[in-house]
A = this chain, B = another copy of it.
């Protein structure tokens, strides 16, 4: 039947359907939630009426009775360290699609940027969401502490940096592996002096990634003195740092903590008349839009954000169904997307 017919007039309720099908409300409810309890012919009859009237259970009533809103809260931040906007888009989209399969939806809320706890509280007290997905864990996880204290279900995207022994469920991507892949790739195409251009020491994500570079260099038996540089995450800082490393340290390979930094290095190469790829290898991090479109293409570490979302939803479902969580912490591995900034031909 046409949507217009289904949606015309007052919404049908359980009682409407029950009356029309000649059964009780509970039987209709069972047809929806526990169809195996009904005799096959009854089920068919009720289903027919449901389809005919275009009946869909009222979410508010169901939520009131079952104390479950089938909504998952996500605090939506404008931009975050280590995960640029476009990344969140890939992540959120998969989150929406995956949760939809079980009838859940994503509820976006905002909060005072200076207070990582803001917003959670209100939604919980109003019983507006069943669970949370937390993404801003780089600066500690006070939200996780709060939610665990009050017994609210949640999963974080990002490990508990402050307290590695924290036992809450999380999914994360190994930055160390990413930087190791980048460094090994640069070494493999023939660069010996591979620099690390990363963030300040206060960044846990930055230090994690940097350790992957250091490990790969050590494994290859290459010295790193003076090659690990810490700057802030912007194009100009990277450009200037790259100029120094190119002029004074004989660097021919750059492993970078972000695509922004990688692009800054490319700028420096332009300015010195060096050819990306052929003369100097550059690898970024995050495989952002910038890495894809910038000239001549920036090799970058790609996080499996779609898989992160799937794993998070999987954990949430396990928690919400009150089952014990087997493996509450899952570390995923990134991969390398090779572009012309590391091709020597």
Q: Could you list which residues of chain A lie within 8 angstroms of chain B, going by C-beta atoms?
A: 3-4, 6-8, 11, 54-61, 63-64, 67, 69, 71, 76-78, 84-86, 88-90, 92-93, 96-97, 100, 105-110, 117, 121-122, 124-128, 146, 149-150, 235, 259-260, 263, 266-267, 270, 288-290, 293-296
Of B126, B150, B260, which contacts A58 at CB under 8 A? B126
Name the residue in A86, A88, A106, A149 with the highest tally of chain B Cβ atoms < 10 Å from its Cβ. A86
* A158–chain B nearest beta-carbon distance, Å: 19
Q: Specify the chain B residue showing the minimal Cβ separation from A266.
A: B295
How many copies the complex holds: the figure is 2
Of B58, B76, B128, B295, which contacts A96 at CB under 8 A? B76
In the complex, the answer to whether A6 meets B235 with C-beta atoms within 8 Å is no
In the complex, the answer to whether A6 meets B125 with C-beta atoms within 8 Å is yes
A-B contacts, 22 of them at CB < 8 A, read A3-B121, A4-B150, A7-B124, A7-B125, A11-B125, A55-B125, A57-B126, A59-B126, A59-B127, A60-B60, A60-B67, A60-B69, A61-B64, A78-B93, A93-B110, A105-B107, A106-B108, A108-B108, A263-B295, A289-B289, A290-B294, A293-B294
In the complex, the answer to whether B69 meets A64 with C-beta atoms within 8 Å is no
In the complex, the answer to whether B7 meets A150 with C-beta atoms within 8 Å is yes
* A127–chain B nearest beta-carbon distance, Å: 6
Bound-state Cα–Cα, A56 to B129, Å: 14
Chain B contacts for A63, CB-based, 8 A: 59-60, 63
